[in-house]
Each structure stands twice: as C-alpha cells, then as structure tokens.
A and B are shown apart, each in its own frame.
Chain A
Amino acid sequence: MATATAKSSTGSAEFADDPVNRDLDTDTKIGFYRAMVRIRHFEQTALKHYQQEKMGGFLHLYIGQEAVAVGTISLCGDNDHIITAYRDHGHALAVGMSMEECMAELFGKRTGCSKGKGGSMHFFAPDKNYWGGHGIVGGQTPLGAGLAFALKYKGLKGACLCYLGDGAVNQGAYHESLNLAALWNLPVIYIIENNMYSMGTSQARSSAYPSCLAERAEGYGMNWDLFNGESVYEIRAKLKPHLDRAHDDHLPSILEIATYRYYGHSVADANAKKYRSKEEIEKYQNEHDPIKVWENILIDEGVFEADDAKEINRAAKDEADASARYADNSPLPDVSEITDDVYYEVDKGTEAGRTGRHFFND
C-alpha cells in the first residue's frame, strides 16, 4: 500500500519559504491555528453532547484531519466554492460558519444552519460558497463539477474544491465527474482526504490503483499530486499551482492528501477499535497531529508561545460550550414546518407555488 508517508513534525516546516507561505503575517498564521483548534473543540463538545443523547443520527468526526480543510480553504477567494461529503463540520467552520448554527443543527434545532432539517451530514452556507455537506458517498462529485461548470459558464475566475474520501473514489459518479471535468476543462479540484479507511475497510482492501489513488487521474489526462496533510504550509504550497491552473486555464486536478481520523468512522462505529491498532492511532496523535505540528512550527518561528496556544484552546472550548448552551436553549422546528423548504415556489408563495396540489398528506 502506498500512501504519502507521514513526515516527522519537524520536517513539515520545509514549505514555509514557498511563495504562498513566506509572506504570511503573524495574525494569519495564528488564525490557522485558531481555525483548527476551533474545529477540534467544536467536535469534542459535539461528541460529549452526542453521548448525552442531545442529538441523533450519525456524527462523523473530522478530528485529526483539520489541517486539510483549514489549509486548502485558506487559499480560496470570492469565486472559489467548496463542497464535501458527510464529514463536513471542519469545512463548515473553516469557511466561516458559526459554531452556534452548526451545533444547533446537530441538536436538531430551528436555529441550526439548515433549520434542523439537514443534520450533521448536511451543513450548507451558500453565502460562504459552501454547498454541503452530502450524505451519499461520491454523490457530491458531479455537483462539484457543476459548480465549476457554472463558474466557467459565467466567465468567473474561480474554482470548486470538491472533497471526497478514499472510499468514495470507487463510485461511478466520481469517475463520470472526472471524465466530464477533463473533457470540458472544468475548474474543479478533487481533494481526496485519504484517512486510510472507508468505515472499517482499509485502502488496500478497497481500491486498485497504480501508485496511489490520485494517479488514476492519468487515465483522464488530468493533473494530480499526492502529499501529506499534517502541515498547513505543505497543503497550501501543494494546492496553489493547481488552484492557479484552475483559475487561469480551467484545468481540473486530483489531489490526494494523506491524513488520519482519530475516532471511529462515526461515533456509532461499533468496530472503531477493531480494524486498526491502538498503536497506529497513537502514532498519528503523537507524531503527526496537525494542530501540534502547527503549534510547534509557530513556537519555533517565534510567532507565539505555548501560553498563547493554551489561551486559544481555552477560548475555543468556551466558544464550543457556549454554542452547545445556545443549541440546547434553541427551539425545535415545529411539526408544521416539516413541509417548508420543499418547493421554492411554494415557500415564496408565487403563482406557480399556489397552482395545483403539492403535498398529499391526507
């Protein structure tokens, strides 16, 4: 099995001098740290409340993968768009959604980002160019091509970052999307967040590939790269040329980013401790944790001190706790609201929405 072997945390600073990184100011660097820490505390808090049965359904935690969302989204401009699968909390916070609206969504409350109608797997914020949050493995990949298609159609200089898992790469819809993206030069960058497992199935047991999953791009004549996802510097440096090509020449790419999730596939993963060893998990936590890696880099660079990091963590935890209180105190959607947000024309009370019967409850 070939994946990008995780480098030691000291080695990750090597991309600091890349043009995309060398002019970053202190606030921005600390901002990346805060963004990752906020994702982690948000999810740890969510987990606690999940265990207290404040929410239902699945809860797919992103913990361990934070640098991927924060690093890639940090390069996005006004016309860049984001779409991902169901492990979507990290991307949501990285695009600027509030903890409150996200936590309230998990609690199934009307104040949630989707009014409690989407749940953990279906966060959306179109005003922040964030198009979900999709529960069907691989189902979002044609939509990602479509966002890119629309950008090109409208003559906008932008790209779509479409995230998927290492298990999703075997879905037909993904391959159809790759063909369309390459055939029509759509500015979409498929980002495979390779956390080595799809539920309990390792990459070796699920995929046939040349040297890595991204290399399948060769079959479509697309650009691709494989790199490590523990350092924000490296992620930014490696994404940048692909983003430029998407912006300038509408060229699609596949990027495979090696990463790791610490928790089970979802919190309900009954076999979370069976398909991989405790040692493997601890190795990632101790040696390759993206937050620790970045914290060490910033301390080495003299950007901040350990106490600053602690303060940022404390603030993030407080914010997460407050968001849980907000969620807890928020009202549920009313049963009468179940049939809102089904049809645009009905919601808006247009003529089309008032003509004919739309719902068939009795």
Chain B
Amino acid sequence: MRTITYREAIREALAEEIERDENVFLIGEEVAQYNGAYKVTEGLWKKYGDKRVIDAPISEAGFLGMGIGASMLGLRPVMELMFWSFCYVAMDQLMNNASSVRYMSGGLIHCPIVVRGPANGGTNVGATHSHTPENIFANMPGLKVVCPATPYDAKGLMKSAIRDNDPVYVMESTVLYGQTGEVPDNDEIEGGELIVPLGVADVKRQGDDITLVAHGRAVLTCLEAAAILADEHDIEAEVVDLRSIRPLDQDTILESVRKTGRAIVVEENKPFCGIGAQIAYLIQHEAFDDLDAPVLRLSSIDAPAIYSPPVEKKQLPYPSQIVDKALSIC
C-alpha cells in the first residue's frame, strides 16, 4: 500500500469531493493562491479555479456565517479555519446558527457544512494559538466533531464529513500534517473510494490488559506508551481511537473495557469538562461491574498553553505519563 502524509490525505479527500459534487467548494484564509497556511490545499486553486477554491479575508464570523447561509440553499462549503484557535471570533455562527437552524425551523432546514483546520498545542505558539475546542463543540447538540489521528482516517473521515448533511467540525493537527501513513489508492478499495463513517471508533492496537481511549494526536502518544508497556512491563494495552467525538462509538469503548477491566482516557485538551470526563462517566455507568480499577484520565496540565518550548512538551500528555498511570492500576 502506498504511504502519504496526513496533509496529502486531506487534500485528496477535498479534491475528490470537489470533483464529485459541484456544490462543494473550499473557502478560507490563504487556502487558494497562497496554497494554504499549512499547505493542506496546495494546488487545488490552480486545478479547480476561483469558483471552487476561494480566498477569504480575515473575517471568520463573516465567511463562516456566509457558508452557513449558502448551505441552507444547498451548497456544501468546506471552510478552513487557519487555526481552530480562531473560532471564538465566529462563535455565534458556529455555535448558534450552524447548530440550531435545523432545530428552530422544526427540521425544515439543514446545514451541510464542514469547518476544518488544526486544533492542537505543542508548537510553541502560546495560549492564543493552541486551543483544542472539541469538547466545547461536542457539547452542542446539532453539531458533529471528528478528530482524525492518521492519514487513513483523515481522508476517510473528511469525505464522510463533506457528504454528511449536518454541520461537521473536523479538528486536525499541525503536528500530524507531516506524519505519514498507509492510505490505499482508490483502485485498491472495494467501492473505489476511501470512506470512514463518523461515529465508528477504531482499535489501533489490540491488548487484553488495559484500554487506552484517545483521539487526535493523543492516539499516537498512547501507541508509544503501549509499546513501552509491552516491552518493559509485559502489559498489553488496547488503544481505542475514537476518531469521531460526536457521534460517539460507545460500543467499541465498552467492548474493550469489558475485556480489559481497566481504562485510561487520554486527551490533549484540558481536564475540566473534557471529552475524558464524558467517556469516564460512560464507562462507569455502563461497565461498572467489569471494572477492576477506577477509570483514570490524563489531559494537558490545566493552564493556558505555555510558550516555553521544552516545558510545553511536558504540559501535554507524553508516553511515560501514560505508562506510570497504567502501572498504578495494573
């Protein structure tokens, strides 16, 4: 199977969907002529032109709201936030209009938009540029949130997101853009294209001793920790990659925990009201009798993102922390 980057995988998904559906267009700051601030959309403007790939002014409330309005008439905008950290200037559009226009119209309207861009810390850009707002948006009924960890998932989830008829917020990672992974060519796939449905988690590593639940880059951190646990401690960790936060694949999480009896929920977000809180609740509620230990959580250290490069590494979850937590309950 061929190997491509996470960035290329997203770009392929965008290109394929532009070609498939004339209502799909890309819009965002620097996505067209500049080729994308993180080069995700490189070459797409040249190939598909002004109508399908549009440079927006620095006006997130304006162009995101415009996309929501356009989607009500049947267009399918894929809108890039240069960083998800900039979502807050457009919060009314993202949180109020996109989530509720269907509801408030009693189901007469729907809003098939995708908002995508990186949402991660770890790049020493300080507190304003390091937000991971997946919990904030997943809190809002009407919205869907996905956080792909691998090139394969990034491509497949992006295609599902664009075809979905509800608003889907795709949170990527600048740290992952250059990571490579296996992504099949379309002619290697039954059905001729790579689709990863929303709401389906993926077991990225099998194991019988403990379940590590994660999303986004934390999945890779968990895989590193799992390798250490196996090599040095003879503990086989199962790594469940949520892929999609809402809808949530509860069954895969519970199936794993019922098998292992132990769970740590790992995320790069802050702890308070994070995704981990919801998952931990879910596990104790649905699988209490199968648990051999309390469910643990690991999040980033509970403060705005620190700048200092060596120290920021320690603010986010890292493998030896997961190993230590695992050892404390195994």
Interface residues of chain A, those whose CB is within 8 Å of chain B, are 81, 83, 112-118, 122, 124-127, 131-134, 136, 139-151, 153-154, 172-173, 176-177, 179-180, 183, 339-345, 347-348, 350-352, 355-360, 362
Q: Which of A81, A124, A179 contacts B108 (CB 8 A)?
A: A124
Given A150-B75, A355-B199, are A143 and B62 neighbors across the interface (CB < 8 Å)?
no
Given A145-B66, A352-B164, A357-B249, are A114 and B105 neighbors across the interface (CB < 8 Å)?
yes
> Please, which residues of chain B bring their CB within 8 A of the CB of A339?
141
CB of B104 closer than 8 Å to a CB of A: yes
Q: Which of B72, B92, B102, B244 contacts A341 (CB 8 A)?
A: B102
The answer to whether A177 touches B66 (Cβ under 8 A) is: yes
Residue from B67, B73, B112, B285 with most neighbouring chain A CB atoms (10 Å): B73
Q: How near does chain B come to A220, taking the closest CB pair, in angstroms? A: 12
25 A-B pairs with C-beta separation under 8 A: A114-B106, A116-B106, A118-B106, A124-B104, A124-B109, A126-B109, A127-B108, A132-B101, A133-B105, A139-B96, A142-B61, A143-B65, A146-B70, A149-B66, A153-B25, A154-B73, A177-B66, A183-B57, A345-B164, A345-B165, A352-B163, A356-B198, A356-B247, A356-B250, A358-B199
How many angstroms between the C-alpha atoms of A351 and B64 in the bound complex? 27
The answer to whether B65 touches A352 (Cβ under 8 A) is: no
The answer to whether A357 touches B250 (Cβ under 8 A) is: yes
Given A146-B71, A147-B70, are A177 and B62 neighbors across the interface (CB < 8 Å)?
yes
> Please, which residues of chain B bring their CB within 8 A of the CB of A350?
165
Question: Nearest chain-B residue to A186 (Cβ)?
Answer: B66
Given A122-B104, A142-B68, A153-B25, are A358 and B62 neighbors across the interface (CB < 8 Å)?
no
The answer to whether A341 touches B69 (Cβ under 8 A) is: no
Q: How near does chain B come to A248, taking the closest CB pair, in angstroms? A: 20
The answer to whether A358 touches B246 (Cβ under 8 A) is: yes
> Please, which residues of chain A bring their CB within 8 A of the CB of B112?
344
The answer to whether B62 touches A117 (Cβ under 8 A) is: no
The answer to whether B70 touches A139 (Cβ under 8 A) is: no
Q: Which of A114, A127, A179, A344 contacts B59 (CB 8 A)?
A: A179
Q: Return the 9 tightest CB-CB contacts between A and B, nearest first.
A: A356-B199, A146-B69, A142-B65, A176-B62, A356-B247, A143-B69, A115-B106, A341-B107, A150-B73
CB of B97 closer than 8 Å to a CB of A: yes
> Please, which residues of chain B bring their CB within 8 A of the CB of A359?
141
B 26-72 contacts with A by CB, 8 A? 51, 56-57, 59, 61-72
> Please, which residues of chain A bring their CB within 8 A of the CB of B110?
344
> Please, which residues of chain B bring their CB within 8 A of the CB of A355?
197-200, 247, 249
Q: How near does chain A come to B182, taking the closest CB pair, in angstroms? A: 24
> Please, which residues of chain B bring their CB within 8 A of the CB of A149?
66, 69-70, 75
Question: Nearest chain-A residue to B245 (Cβ)?
Answer: A356
**Count of chain B residues with Cβ under 8 Å from any Cβ of A?**
55
> Please, which residues of chain A bring their CB within 8 A of the CB of B105?
114, 118, 122, 124, 126, 132-133, 341
> Please, which residues of chain B bring their CB within 8 A of the CB of A357?
199, 247-250
The answer to whether B61 touches A173 (Cβ under 8 A) is: yes
How many angstroms between the C-alpha atoms of A355 and B65 in the bound complex? 28
> Please, which residues of chain A bring their CB within 8 A of the CB of B106?
112-118, 124, 341
The answer to whether B57 touches A173 (Cβ under 8 A) is: no
Q: Which of A124, A173, A183, A344 contacts B166 (CB 8 A)?
A: A344
Q: How near does chain A come to B184, taking the closest CB pair, in angstroms? A: 21
> Please, which residues of chain A bring their CB within 8 A of the CB of B69?
83, 131, 142-150
Residue from B62, B93, B198 with most neighbouring chain A CB atoms (10 Å): B62
Residue from A131, A144, A341 with most neighbouring chain B CB atoms (10 Å): A341
How many angstroms between the C-alpha atoms of A112 and B285 in the bound complex? 38
> Please, which residues of chain A bring their CB within 8 A of the CB of B63?
142, 176, 180
> Please, which residues of chain A bring their CB within 8 A of the CB of B141?
339, 342-343, 359
Given A126-B72, A173-B93, A180-B59, are A145 and B65 neighbors across the interface (CB < 8 Å)?
yes
Q: How near does chain B come to A278, taking the closest CB pair, in angstroms? A: 36
> Please, which residues of chain B bring their CB within 8 A of the CB of A146?
65-73
> Please, which residues of chain B bring their CB within 8 A of the CB of A344?
102, 107, 110, 112, 165-166
How many angstroms between the C-alpha atoms of A356 and B25 in the bound complex? 27
> Please, which residues of chain B bring their CB within 8 A of the CB of A340?
107
Question: Nearest chain-B residue to A173 (Cβ)?
Answer: B61
Given A142-B61, A142-B66, A143-B97, are A356 and B248 neighbors across the interface (CB < 8 Å)?
yes
Question: Nearest chain-B residue to A105 (Cβ)?
Answer: B106
How many angstroms between the C-alpha atoms of A123 and B164 in the bound complex? 25
Q: Which of B107, B200, B247 contacts A115 (CB 8 A)?
A: B107
Residue from B63, B74, B106 with most neighbouring chain A CB atoms (10 Å): B106
How many angstroms between the C-alpha atoms of A134 and B65 in the bound complex? 13
Given A139-B97, A352-B160, are A114 and B104 neighbors across the interface (CB < 8 Å)?
yes
How many angstroms between the C-alpha atoms of A62 and B144 in the bound complex? 36
The answer to whether A180 touches B72 (Cβ under 8 A) is: no
How many angstroms between the C-alpha atoms of A343 and B61 in the bound complex? 23
0/1 interface trace, chain B 117-136, chain A, CB 8 Å (1 if under): 00000000000000000000
The answer to whether B72 touches A131 (Cβ under 8 A) is: yes
Given A136-B92, A355-B198, are A147 and B73 neighbors across the interface (CB < 8 Å)?
yes
